[in-house]
C-alpha cells in the first residue's frame, strides 16, 4: 500500500524540470530502482519531447532535497553522455548538477523550488517558440 503522504503535494519540493526526446527510453523506468524518495511528473511539452518535473520528498529538509537532486541529475547526465537518453536537457534546476549545497537557502525563493511548474514550463515553452521561429 502506498502511503498517503507520498501524494500530498505539500510534502514535495520541485527541484528540476527535465526534457528528453519523445522516443527516449522510459525515464521513470530508468530511475525506478532508486530509493531516493522522489517522483517524476509529466508536464506539457513541445512536440517531439517529453518534459518531467523532478520532485523530492521535502520532509527531510532542503539540504536532503538538494543532495537527492544532485545525485539524480548527475546520474541522468551520465546516462545521456553515454548516448542512452536522447535529447536529455535540464530545463530548470541545473544548479543542482554542480553542487548539492548550491545556495539551499536561496533555493526556497526560486520558481522551481516553490512548486510552480506551470510558470517554469510556460516560460521554457515560450523561449523555445522564440528560438524555433523562422
Neighbours of 8 (CB within 10 A): 11
3-state SS, one letter per residue, for 16-77: EEEEEECCCCCHHHHCCCCCCCEEEEEECCCCCEEEEEEEEEHHHCHHHHHHHHHHHHHHHH
Q: What is the pLDDT of residue 22?
A: 94
Q: What is the pLDDT of residue 122?
A: 46
Q: What is the pLDDT of residue 101?
A: 61
- CB burial of 44-65 (b: ≥16 within 10 Å; e: otherwise) equals ebeeebbbbbbbbbbeeebebb
pLDDT digits (tens, 9 = 90+) for 57-99: 988 888 888 899 999 999 999 999 999 899 999 999 888 888 6
SS3 content of the chain, % helix, strand, coil (to 5): 45, 20, 35
CA angle 59, 60, 61 (to 5 degrees): 95
The confidence band for 19, taking pLDDT boundaries of 50, 70 and 90, is: very high
Q: Contact at 8 Å (CB) between 48 and 128? A: no
Q: What is the pLDDT of residue 10?
A: 66
Q: What is the pLDDT of residue 18?
A: 94
Cell, residue 17: 524540470
Question: The whole model's pTM is what?
Answer: 0.68
**How much is the average pLDDT of 34-47?**
90
Q: What is the pLDDT of residue 9?
A: 53
- Mean pLDDT, the chain, rounded, equals 75
pLDDT over 90 (residue 20)? yes
Amino acid at each position: 500500500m502506498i502511503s498517503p503522504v507520498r501524494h500530498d503535494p505539500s510534502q514535495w519540493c520541485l527541484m528540476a524540470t527535465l526534457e528528453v526526446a519523445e522516443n527516449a527510453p522510459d525515464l521513470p523506468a530508468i530511475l525506478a530502482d532508486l530509493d531516493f524518495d522522489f517522483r517524476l511528473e509529466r508536464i506539457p511539452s513541445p512536440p517531439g519531447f517529453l518534459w518531467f518535473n523532478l520532485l523530492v520528498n521535502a520532509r527531510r529538509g532542503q539540504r536532503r532535497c538538494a543532495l537527492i537532486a544532485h545525485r539524480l541529475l548527475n546520474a541522468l547526465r551520465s546516462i545521456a553522455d553515454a548516448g542512452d537518453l536522447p535529447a536529455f536537457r535540464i530545463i530548470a534546476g541545473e544548479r543542482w548538477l554542480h553542487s548539492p549545497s548550491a545556495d539551499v537557502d536561496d533555493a526556497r525563493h526560486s520558481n522551481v523550488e516553490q512548486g510552480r511548474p506551470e510558470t517554469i514550463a510556460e516560460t521554457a515553452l515560450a523561449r523555445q517558440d522564440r528560438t524555433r521561429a523562422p
